[in-house]
Structure 1
Amino acid sequence: MDKTLQLSGEHFILVLNSGSSSLKFAVYHQTTGHRQWSGVIKGIGKPIGTMDLTDSYGDSIALKKEHYRNIEDASVAIIRWLRENKKHCLISAIGYRLVQGGAVHRRPEIITEKLLEDLKELIFLAPNHLPDELSLINAFMLEFSYLLHVACFDTNFHRDMPDCNKYYPLPAKYAEQGLMRYGFHGLSYEYIMQKLDKQHAFIDQKKIVIAHLGNGSSMAAVSLGKGFDTTMGVSPIGGLVMATRCGDLDPGAVLFMLKQNDITPEELDVELSHESGLKAISGTGDMEEILNSLCDDKKAEAALTLYCHQAKKFIASLAASLGGIDMLIFTGGIGENSPEVRERICAEMDFMGLKIDRCLNLRSEKVISSQSSKVCIRVMKTSEESMIAMHTRNFLLPDNENKLASALHAKTEKV
């Protein structure tokens, strides 16, 4: 076992974060909140997948290659690892990232049979995410029925957006049915704001735009320390162009696709979610591949140009929504790791007070704005798993003992 082994008797929180073709997991110390292990299973649904395990020092302790047919196979692999390390890893609770909980379920909550039934009814809101997320929960609740299970929703950060940013200009019946701009990547934004609050005095007085750029990309405008506006809407398909998602489209374009191609709404969803975006332009949704192909591939250049151009427009739009901008944060896999993308996005934005320092940017320093920039430009590492662990831990605190006892009793009754 690795050098972070804990003595028997210590308790931990398991965090599970499911993606479209990957499953991240992490183990946090229940008392200290310190991450002990983390891992990711990639290539789910592909001929060969990998399971990479890392200790608390960031050192890789295992890399296994297997065929993971689906999220159930990935779940079995993690459960097997937990069994093998049971004496070092006593799990007291499990926290899950859920992309969508509708209008009613936004704040973190204990998972009950009632919540699971409600989420099944909401699959139409997130057909590319919720089915796998529910399968993941079912697998772990079956194996660990006696533990506390907590759902953390990616929409929670945006719940207090003003009505002008929350509702679509459509007949009222649609809002009553749950059609609104929910926003996503909320756990990431919450983590960034928590970090900023510790590092800066009066951060709630700043007008902030956070750019979470990754396989899925979105931005959020933050005012008074709360989510004020965001780029994604009712689904994670909207907003910025992404790896395989189209981003914002004219509704007429959607109607055109339906009418001219005789496809079902389900087939259209697959096309907009899995065959569009950067992949449709360059043949790949992998930003690293695109960046490596710039010299001899015009399609790669076209994809990157569009991505960065759209990012510029959304930054300006969110700044207008806020009535100004004091700070721009880059986070997410691309935002944290690609100086090229950050530089292209910030190029010729000095009219808004954004000016990047090339040397600081190339070194991916924490602050990459030039001395003459009126806007502070930062690069920050995010951790959705850390936020899930924190929210899950809160249910284990003494103040929540009665709530926890009744929830566990209800689960026991079902079993």
Structure 2
Amino acid sequence: MADLVVTLNAGSSSVKFALFAATAEWPRLVVAGAVEGLGAKPRFRVDVVGEKASERKLAAKLTHRKAIAEIFKWIEGAYPAATISAIGHRVVHGGLRFSAPVIVDAETLAALRAFIPLAPLHQPHNLAGIEGACEAFPHVPQVACFDTAFHRGHAFVDDAYALPYSYYEKGLRRFGFHGLSYEYIARRLRIIDPIHAEGGVIVAHLGNGASLCALKGGRSIATSMGFSALEGLPMGTRCGEIDPGLLLYLLESEGMTPEELSHLLYERSGLLGLSGVSHDMRALESSDEPRADAAIAYFIHRIKMEIAALTAVIGGLDALVFTAGIGERSPRIRAGVVEGLGWLGLALDATANARNDSLISSTQSRIPVFVTPTDEEAMIARHTIEIAGLSVAAR
């Protein structure tokens, strides 16, 4: 059997995993699955390619480490003859030090722990995934793939905040996130539309976490997220862009503690806070509550503002791409965004948009508009194969 590569994507309440066979220039998916509902009602879901998906309940008190142990127990039972040749991990923050995927050793793991304050909702779980995998497969290479790495190399004007320069030197700057998704889309667009892919492209990664990225020649030039995963667009429960003076007011005049403020900004704001209904766009679109409509309108408004700003940064727009859960599945959001940007030369084909077609712009549109599914796991697998020395392009 060919080398198998495992990918792990550990979040706050789930651990996603996938198995890829390193049998072609691009990894071939064998299995996708997840342990979901951690902290509530955990369940184990597995989807083997070509077979019917299965799901089962797990014990209520399940930690990330135990969830990862369940995943590897299933892999070893399902593929007893297979060799797990490498394990790739999504790590949200790589700081200034890591601008490319790396093999994880003790020194690397210590450095990644130092970034926990920069991504408190994600980094601890990413590291739990690495530590659990090291325990289960101590002799298998572990590869860390960073969401920030794709954005390293931005110009000073796109990275800096207008604070004393010493803060910039210490690393208080705009990092950007969702880099694995943007890297995948950049590669995919070269196949879909190689001519426009080399020009100015804006990718809208719209999900529970949301951001935009401006590409030029397939490289990240600027992005809406900054020092943390709070900046830019409003998200499911995160606030997006906010006046720092308001934060000072909440601390000084409202008497909030830093912990309370963090909880407000990360978990009580965004679409949930504005609507009072849900963080889930599907629930908002089906709701009759006026505040749900207001939250949707605000989300669309901020996306249009960010697209206009990023278009200015890259000197014009050659293609627009929607991706991630909302971007791939919400005709209403896509229509609202594009209808507000007709002055850029964008126009939708309403029928194609309603069908979630891959190309949803009309024949009158000067700029193509794509709906392109992202695949962060495949991008992690690709990096892992390369870094672990499993490249099979010559086979």
TM norm structure 2: 0.94
Q: What is the aligned counterpart of 1:94 among 87, 100, 109?
A: 87
Match of 2:356 in 1: 364
Match of 1:4 in 2: none
SS in 2 for 1:239: coil
Match of 2:232 in 1: 239
Match of 2:32 in 1: 38
Deviation at 1:203, TM superposition (A): 4.3
1:88–1:244 CA distance, 2 compared to 1 (3 A)? farther
Specify the code of the residue in structure 2 equivalent to 1:327.
Answer: A
SS in 2 for 1:315: helix
Specify the code of the residue in structure 2 equivalent to 1:25.
Answer: F
- The yes-or-no answer on 1:329 pairing with 2:317 is no
Specify the code of the residue in structure 2 equivalent to 1:38.
Answer: A
SS in 1 for 2:194: coil
Match of 2:201 in 1: 208
Match of 1:397 in 2: 389
SS in 2 for 1:345: helix
Alignment partners' CA distance in 2, 1:60 and 1:287: 28
Q: Is the 8 A contact 2:143 2:388 kept in 1?
A: no
Deviation at 1:345, TM superposition (A): 1.4
Match of 2:78 in 1: 85
Q: Which structure 2 residues correspond to residues 73-152 of structure 1 after superposition, within 5 A?
A: 73-152=66-145
SS in 2 for 1:346: helix
Q: What is the aligned counterpart of 2:366 among 371, 374, 391?
A: 374
Deviation at 1:70, TM superposition (A): 3.3
Deviation at 1:204, TM superposition (A): 5.1
Deviation at 1:126, TM superposition (A): 1.0
Alignment partners' CA distance in 1, 2:63 and 2:110: 22
Specify the code of the residue in structure 2 equivalent to 1:303.
Answer: A
Match of 1:158 in 2: 151
1:39–1:68 CA distance, 2 compared to 1 (3 A)? farther
Match of 1:25 in 2: 17
Cα displacement string for residues 104-161 of structure 1 (whole angstroms, at most 9, x for unaligned residues): 1121000010001111112111111111111111111011110000000001111121
Q: Is the 8 A contact 2:237 2:269 kept in 1?
A: yes
Deviation at 1:88, TM superposition (A): 4.9
Alignment partners' CA distance in 1, 2:35 and 2:229: 22
1:43–1:226 CA distance, 2 compared to 1 (3 A)? same
Alignment partners' CA distance in 1, 2:89 and 2:380: 7
Match of 2:177 in 1: 184
5+ residue gaps in structure 2? Answer: none
Match of 1:286 in 2: 280
Cα displacement string for residues 210-234 of structure 1 (whole angstroms, at most 9, x for unaligned residues): 0000010000000122100100001
Alignment partners' CA distance in 2, 1:136 and 1:185: 18
Q: Is the 8 A contact 2:8 2:15 kept in 1?
A: yes
Q: What is the aligned counterpart of 2:265 among 272, 284, 287?
A: 272
Q: Which runs of 4+ in 1 moved over 6 A?
A: none
Match of 1:70 in 2: 63
1:382–1:68 CA distance, 2 compared to 1 (3 A)? farther
Cα displacement string for residues 387-410 of structure 1 (whole angstroms, at most 9, x for unaligned residues): 0000000023379xxxxxxxxxxx
- The yes-or-no answer on 1:56 pairing with 2:49 is yes
5+ residue gaps in structure 1? Answer: 1-8, 400-415
- The yes-or-no answer on 1:351 pairing with 2:343 is yes
SS in 1 for 2:53: strand
Match of 1:405 in 2: none
SS in 2 for 1:152: strand
Count of matched residue positions in the alignment of Structure 1 and Structure 2 = 388
Alignment partners' CA distance in 2, 1:116 and 1:310: 37
TM norm structure 1: 0.90
Specify the code of the residue in structure 2 equivalent to 1:152.
Answer: C
Specify the code of the residue in structure 1 equivalent to 2:39.
Answer: G
Deviation at 1:60, TM superposition (A): 3.8
Alignment partners' CA distance in 2, 1:238 and 1:313: 14
Q: Is the 8 A contact 2:184 2:379 kept in 1?
A: yes
SS in 2 for 1:247: coil
Alignment partners' CA distance in 1, 2:105 and 2:340: 51
Alignment partners' CA distance in 2, 1:89 and 1:288: 40
Deviation at 1:313, TM superposition (A): 0.9
Deviation at 1:260, TM superposition (A): 2.4
Alignment partners' CA distance in 1, 2:177 and 2:105: 23
Q: Is the 8 A contact 1:43 1:68 kept in 2?
A: no
Specify the code of the residue in structure 1 equivalent to 2:3.
Answer: H
Match of 1:6 in 2: none
Deviation at 1:361, TM superposition (A): 0.1
Identical columns (%): 38
Deviation at 1:68, TM superposition (A): 5.4
SS in 2 for 1:234: coil
